[in-house]
Amino acid sequence: MKHILLTNDDGFDAIGLKALIEALKPIAKITVVAPAKNKSACGHSLTLDKPLRLASVDDDFYKIDDGTPTDCVFISLNNLFKETCKPDLVISGINIGANMGEDITYSGTAAAAMEAVLQGIPAIAISQVCNDNCSDIKNGFDFALAKQTIANLAQKILQNQFPLDERKFLNVNIPPIKPNECNGIRITKAGYREYGNDTHRHLNPRGEEFYWVGLHPLIWKSSVNKDCDFEAIKDNCISITPIMLDLTSYSDIESLENWLNN
């Protein structure tokens, strides 16, 4: 039987992770290793300054106290799995909220998939887009379209092969609609995210200053061919973006050499 490792950045008790388990249990053996608490927007961070404890929650289900999604993948692949028996696939999610455009660089959900492909395991990051305050998720959202999508993608990968080369993963975003309202799947590029400055200054009872970083609304720069992840979600389509870890700007190498030598 094929084996899938699951993780997330919303915590081991997140409703999106529970939905992911439900979707994939019928098609593969499942092992879950997730952070003990919410680690959203932690990026591709690996904990180096303190020990981490892998605690059993249930059969084949673990949490890592104060661990990041990257920690979860790194520790589980190198300790729970033998060298000759690695998982066939790593899936991170179902994240509450979008991971599109440059948000991918902040995302703990995407970071877990990054770590998996660095370790040579195919990976998918999947996120459920919601409204600005996620009230739709809090009010009994059933993740039906996300569950259907990830089950189909995982089954296709497990029965055939992963469609990308090494050190690349699939970043999937699901529109906040029912399955019968979906207009299909689009293969997209990562969009151009526009950011504001949503910070909130407060004073504690001792008069000391502190700040909360707020949540930015999903605003983006329209792509010429309307082919980015934001455009797909706007059109009620599932977005699948192939992501590579090589951040080199190849088109600038020659011009940078010319600039340096002049």
Burial class (CB in 10 A: 0-12, 13-18, 19+), 47: middle
Q: How far is CA 44 from CA 5, 215, 247, in A?
A: 18, 20, 14
> Could you read off the pLDDT tens digit of each residue along the chain, which spans 262 residues?
899 999 999 999 999 999 999 999 999 999 999 999 999 989 999 999 999 999 999 999 999 999 999 999 999 999 999 877 899 999 999 999 999 999 999 999 999 999 999 999 999 999 999 976 676 776 678 999 999 999 999 999 999 999 999 999 999 999 999 999 999 999 999 998 887 777 788 888 988 898 877 677 778 788 888 899 999 999 999 999 999 999 999 999 999 999 999 8
State the residue range of the domain holding 29: 3-193+224-261
CA distance 246 to 162: 18
Is position 207 within any domain?
no
Is position 219 within any domain? no
Q: Which two tokens stand for residue 55?
A: 């605690």
Residue 214 belongs to some domain of the structure: no
Count of residues in the chain:
262
- What is the domain-level CATH number for residue 125? 3.40.1210.10
CA distance linking residue 205 with residue 159, whole number of Å: 59
> How far are the Cα atoms of 80, 169, 171, 177, 241 from residue 238, in angstroms, in the given order?
33, 16, 11, 10, 10
Residues in a beta bridge with 203: 209
Structural domains of the chain, count: 1
In the beta sheet, which residues pair with residue 241? 171
69 belongs to a structural domain: yes
- Asked if residue 107 lies in contact with residue 99, where contact means CB atoms within 8 angstroms, the answer is yes
What pLDDT was estimated at residue 195?
Answer: 78
Q: What tokens does 117 get?
A: 């492909």
Virtual torsion, Cα 185, 186, 190, 195, nearest 10 deg:
-70
- Within a domain: residue 208? no
pLDDT at 5: 98
Residue 212 belongs to some domain of the structure: no
Q: Is residue 215 part of a domain?
A: no
The whole-angstrom separation of Cα 215 and Cα 197 is 9
Q: In this structure, is residue 92 part of a structural domain?
A: yes
